[in-house]
Each structure stands twice: as C-alpha cells, then as structure tokens.
Amino acid sequence: MKYYVLFGPPGAGKGTQAGSMVERYHLCHLSTGELLRSEIAAGTELGKQAKALIEAGNLVPDEVVEGMIEAKFKSTGGVNGFLLDGFPRTIAQAQALDRMLENTAEKVTACISIMIPDSLIQERIAHRATIEGRADDARPEVVENRIKTYHAKTEPLIEYYKNAGRYQEIDGVGTIDEVRERIFSVMDRF
C-alpha cells in the first residue's frame, strides 16, 4: 500500500492536482478539508465546531482529524494506496500518522510538496474564492492568517520528511499540465 502526503501552502494547487494523481495511481483521496466540509454541510456537532474554527482561519484539533483519517484507512479497500491532502499539517500530526501506519507495518511512501511563493498564494486563493464561492477564502485577514499558520506550523514538515528521506519538492509555478507532469515524473519512481 502506498501512502502519499500531498503538501504545500494554501492555493498551491493540491486540490487541482489530486484528481489526476488519484486516477493515474488508483489512490483514495483523503482531503481533510473535504471531510470537514461534509461534516459542516451535514450540520453535525463536529461540523459546527469545525466551521467556527475554519471561518476564523484556525486549524481543527489534531485528535478530530486523526480519528477521521484512521477511520478512512480502515474502511477503504480496493485501492493501491492513499493520497493525504491537508494532513499532516504539523510535526505532531506527522508523528501520529507514522504511529498509525506502524500499527499495520506501513510507512509514508513520499511527501509530494507543491511549492509556490507567498505572492502567488494570495492571488490563487482570491481567484478560488470567486470561482468556488468558498467563504473561508474570501476575507483577506483569514487568508493572511492561513499563510502565517502554514509558515509557523506546517512548513517545519519539510525538514521532518527530508530527514526521513521521503520529501519530494515540485515547482508549483506554471500551467496545471506542467505541474502535473512534474508530479507524475516524481511519483512514477515509486
């Protein structure tokens, strides 16, 4: 079983590229954002808590996200692996993921990191807010908080996965097709 972590700042194109990656490599796409948005849409208690946090630009507590991911690992079959999008976002989550996988004698195959400069993050998120109508992308102060949170809490994962020999960086600047080909050229090696 393959376990890919799809990594990069908000607006890097993770969601755009995930569909092609899932299709080509027959993976189950686990997007924590989509999992949480479905809970919000369903009006569950978890959804209500998550909505308040997300609208303020904050992260949902680790134990909630970890529980959702582990449940999906156990309940999903008929795939070659998983594409984790939006998880892990912190060193503690990466360590929790490692523990989850160790329980089944598995490990993260690779961290595929799509990188773009901060100036492009702002531009892409503003564009996404108008196209997808995502309220969490529409307010500049929320976007700025997400960028700061990414740099402070998520960016340290680069060193974590480099030290584990699992980090693969992709230049996220260019057309969707150009970035996709860069991703595929890396994933084909696994």
| pLDDT score recorded for residue 137 | 63
Indicate the domain borders of the chain.
2-183
Please determine, for residue 66, whether its predicted confidence score (pLDDT) is greater than 80.
Answer: yes
Q: Which residue has the higher pLDDT, 181 or 61?
A: 181
Rounded to an integer, the average pLDDT of 69-80 is 89
Q: Tell me the pLDDT band of 138, cut-offs 50, 70 and 90.
A: low
Q: Active-site positions?
A: 14, 89, 128, 134, 146
The whole-angstrom separation of Cα 55 and Cα 68 is 20
Region for residue 8 given its phi and psi (left: phi exceeds 0; alpha: psi -120 to 50; beta: otherwise): left
Q: Which residue has the higher pLDDT, 80 or 127?
A: 80
pTM here is: 0.82
| pLDDT score recorded for residue 135 | 64
Q: Which residue has the higher pLDDT, 126 or 90?
A: 90
Contact call for residues 9 and 128 (beta carbons, < 8 A): no
What topology does CATH give the domain 2-183? Answer: Rossmann fold (3.40.50)
Token digits for 105?
């004698």
Contact call for residues 10 and 115 (beta carbons, < 8 A): no
Token digits for 117?
């400069």
The whole-angstrom separation of Cα 15 and Cα 20 is 10
